[in-house]
Amino acid sequence: MTLPALRFRRLLLTGAAGGLGRVLRPRLKGWCETLRVSDIAELGAAAAGEEVQAADLADKAAVLALLADVDAVVHLGGVSTEHAFETILPANIVGTYHVYEGARRAGTKRIVFASSNHVTGFYQQSETITPQALPRPDTYYGLSKAFGENLAQFYFDRYGIETVSLRIGSCFPAPRGRRGLSSYLSYDDLERLVRAALTAPVVGHTVVYGASANRSLWYDNRSASHLGYAPQDSSEPWRAELEREVVDPKDPVARHQGGAFVTMGPFEDEVSPAPRPS
């Protein structure tokens, strides 16, 4: 795969110990002189060209230090599944504010924000939606990502920090379930999407859905075509297998784009916060 010309002196990857962080960590190293990786989970030793800097996103001072001397950020950090609001709040809402405030103070001008398809999870699977569709979050998790997108817009309008918000679909080695026929995003297409978000000349605040070139897409990304994202993979090789899955068309999980997320919770009994990958 041809990589773009070196553009960044120091690139920050948050959530580097998470599922997608582990995928992107070795791939991002070719795009910068120094890759700073962060999480509160174990990251191992720094490889050549890396800096390892642990930080809890809820700790403002730690995040401000994390952003020091950073040219651009790929922000994957936070709670990546549904939990009680009290668990989502510190990392996904307060923590994302800390990242943007750190970028403002450090003079960082480009952030790639890992949003989610769950920002619009209550749309029907029969609908095709654009990045301008009114948010309809399916969970507190999706709600936190909608907040992050609004935060990104505010920091662009007020301070000129550009963001590409990636409403990531289902990013795994292979699509999972019938829903994955529409929402699947391959690891290689994730890399293509992040690369486009980092290197497009002007993005302002751009929202784009993160999906491969699936035949049965729910998303119309034409308004984000200036990014130059061109997915090359699709869910089609798994279609015959996944279409054998029997679904009840009246089941909310089968009707809504958010799938199982639309029925998660409530979480009244969650008394201890889940770990906050950062």
Catalytic sites, residue numbers: 141
For 144, the enclosing helix (H) or strand (E) is helix 140-159
According to DSSP, the residues that pair with 124 across neighbouring strands are 256
Helix 95-106 vs helix 140-159: crossing angle, to nearest 10? 20
Candidates 223, 230, 85; CA nearest to 143 is 85
Candidates 163, 120, 119, 124; CA nearest to 141 is 119
Cβ-Cβ contacts under 8 Å for 164 (sequence gap 6 or more): 111, 112, 113, 196, 197, 200, 203, 205, 206, 207, 208, 227
Determine the Cα–Cα distance for residues 233 and 235; give it in Å rounded to an integer: 7
Query: Per the structure block, which two tokens stand in for 6?
Result: 């070196």
Query: If DSSP codes are grouped into helix, strand and coil, which group holds residue 198?
Result: helix
How many angstroms separate the Cα of 155 from the Cα of each of 99, 111, 182?
Answer: 11, 11, 32
Determine the Cα–Cα distance for residues 158 and 233; give it in Å rounded to an integer: 37
